[in-house]
Chains A and B, each alone.
Chain A
Amino acid sequence: SYVLTQPPSVSVAPGQTANITCGGNNVGRKSVHWYQQKPGRAPVLVVHDDSDRPSGITERFSGSNSGNTATLTISWVEAGDEADYYCQVWDSSSDSYVFGTGTKVAVL
């Protein structure tokens, strides 16, 4: 089955930029979605279709996808961005959604 690999953790200082990667075989050919999940809460969609933001999501969240790596970028990181982040794709081979392994973002 299709595998998406994320770094377990990313640490970033307030005001800096966090880049969270999501690696998968030819993931650039798929539409990647990104979710933010804070403790005890349901996931929230922050980027869909590689780089589009849902209404109400700050412009500080952006995404890109090419080759074997998709990236979620959080600019001007704030303390409130501390959360787990998951990438997701639809895998047509298995006819199922696949989630990445998840990345915990810590704001120093």
Chain B
Amino acid sequence: QVQLVQSGAEVKKPGASMKVSCKASGYTFTSFGISWLRQAPGQGPEWMGWISAKNGNTKYAQKFQGRVTLTTDTSTSTAYMELRSLRSDDTAIYYCARDGIVVIVNDYWGQGTLVTVSS
């Protein structure tokens, strides 16, 4: 069965960087993409970006351009999301979700990683 297992909760200081991992199993990693999304407390999901696990092509939401980097390690079927220059309003649950080799739909989601940004 398809599973996406994310790294654990983090607490960060303003101005720091964070990097969340997402290990995929149960499917051929390089035949799909991974989207990253986040959900602030009491809010709906917000899409951050997408990466093709086949060739590393990326798309980023304009809001996060220049501050986020998506990468994959095909040898371990793991996707990574790095977000820099953290602010308090980056406090959220961060999710990875399987997507298509082009952006199609987020059909399986990881369990989420809570990141708290606080001084």
**Does A90 sit within 8 A of B, measured CB to CB?**
yes
**Does B80 sit within 8 A of A, measured CB to CB?**
no
> Across the A-B interface, how many residue pairs have beta carbons closer than 8 Å?
51
Question: A residues engaging B (CB < 8 A)?
Answer: 31, 33, 35, 37, 42-45, 48-49, 54, 84, 86, 88, 90, 94-102
Q: How many of B's residues come within 8 Å of A, CB to CB?
A: 19
Using A86-B44, A86-B45, A99-B45 as known contacts, say yes or no to A45 and B105 having CB atoms under 8 A apart: yes
Chain A residues in 8 Å Cβ range of B62: 94, 96
B107 touches A42 (CB 8 A): no
Question: B residues engaging A (CB < 8 A)?
Answer: 35, 37, 44-47, 59, 61-62, 95, 103, 105-112
Chain A residue, CB-CB nearest to B6: A42
Nearest Cβ distance between residue B5 and chain A, in whole angstroms? 12
